[in-house]
Amino acid sequence: MKGYRIWNWVLVVSFSAFVAFLPKFISEFSLNLAVMMLIYSLFAVAYNMLLGQAGLLSFGHAAHFGIGAYTAILVYKHFGLSLLPGILAGGGCSILLGVIIGIFMVRLRGLSFALLSMAFNMLIYATAEKWRSLTNGEDGIAMQRPDLSIPGFGSIDMFSTVNFYYFALIVVVLCIAYCWFFTKTPLGRLIVCTRENTERTSFVGYNIYATKLFVYLICAFFCGVAGALASSFQEFVSTSMINLDKSADILFMTFVGGRGIFWGPIAGSCFLMYINDALSTLTEHWAIIQGAIFIALVMYAQDGISGLLLGMKDLLLNRFRKETG
């Protein structure tokens, strides 16, 4: 057991070194992909708070991602604020949206929850499309990303991708670290109880609606932060960041990675973004292959990639144990 723990540490340290020195090894083009992987990892981990931990299937989380994305760009454009306030405003507005739609959503579960989330997403998409004076409709808004200025410390130029990579890395790691910590807190445990047995949870003294609403808002915050990071990085926001395709993408990433294990969604988003990128240089029909993977996983591996990996690890460990007696 002790050797096993050492291997875990070796894995963590080498992975940290890998992400920390990544910009030294790869091209600017690949680094762009790496930044997007970071951002979608956060989006997927936050989304999995609902899908995996609360057992609530949402088809509408592009609404939270998108509102974060729009907020950041609009804050830079109209208020001339720097990077960090823009990102936080993105998370904040996503919470506000969460309060408004959350009070309706948390009364439902199962199919009705999924359908209502989809309906809200469509409503918000339509608003973004039609409110041209604010959002510029389908054409979107372009806005150069501002510097990162920290009071009393000075300001860091964010024009270079390498700098933004490190900024995104720090924000994403901090957010995901909190999401991991969240699973150990009373509320984090409670939401698992509501997934397991909603009725019993209310009969031991918990207000189910309030519980689900709190978790919905925490999830909304991180989805908004992810959206704000994405639009800041791409220096552009349009309705493609708030439409149902985006909602399907995140569900897809989370499911492919495995919703039952905390780091599953990270694996899923990195894997899918990587193969999409690799396949799209080979063939324009990459979506067919992506679809085939999804079908195969839904049918044969409900726990996704992370479930498969853990299964393989157990298999190897057992073989190792047998050989060494």
Q: Helices 110-130 and 83-105 sit at what angle, rounded to 10 degrees?
A: 130
Q: What is the rounded CA–CA span in Å between residue 232 and residue 59?
A: 24
By CB atoms closer than 10 A (0-12, 13-18, 19+), residue 137 is: middle
Query: Is the CB of 161 or the CB of 183 nearer to another protein?
Result: 183
Within 8 A by CB and 6+ apart from 91, the residues are 68, 221, 222, 224, 225, 228
Q: How many CB atoms lie within 10 A of CB 305?
A: 21
Least separation in angstroms between CB 294 and another protein: 26
Q: Helix (H, G, I), strand (E, B), or coil: what is residue 185?
A: coil
Give the helix/strand (H/E) hosting 236: strand 236-237
Least separation in angstroms between CB 189 and another protein: 6
Least separation in angstroms between CB 184 and another protein: 5
Alpha helices in 26-109 (DSSP H): 28-48, 62-79, 83-105
Q: What is the rounded CA–CA span in Å between residue 105 and residue 113?
A: 6
Q: What's 55's DSSP letter?
A: -
Q: Helix (H, G, I), strand (E, B), or coil: what is residue 285?
A: coil
Least separation in angstroms between CB 216 and another protein: 13
Query: Is the CB of 214 or the CB of 263 nearer to another protein?
Result: 214
Residues 74 and 68 sit within 8 Å (Cβ to Cβ):
no
Query: Is the CB of 137 or the CB of 188 nearer to another protein?
Result: 188
Q: What is the rounded CA–CA span in Å between residue 292 and residue 271?
A: 15
* HSE toward the beta carbon, residue 37, CA cutoff 13 A: 20
Least separation in angstroms between CB 207 and another protein: 5
- Site for another protein, rule CB under 8 A: 181-182, 184-190, 192-193, 196-197, 199-208, 210-211, 214, 218
Query: Is the CB of 210 or the CB of 287 nearer to another protein?
Result: 210
State whether the Cα torsion 225-227-230-231 is positive or negative: negative
Least separation in angstroms between CB 185 and another protein: 5
Query: Is the CB of 187 or the CB of 248 nearer to another protein?
Result: 187
Query: Is the CB of 160 or the CB of 207 nearer to another protein?
Result: 207
Residues 231 and 241 sit within 8 Å (Cβ to Cβ):
yes
Query: Is the CB of 205 or the CB of 325 nearer to another protein?
Result: 205
Least separation in angstroms between CB 215 and another protein: 9
Least separation in angstroms between CB 193 and another protein: 5
Query: Is the CB of 192 or the CB of 279 nearer to another protein?
Result: 192
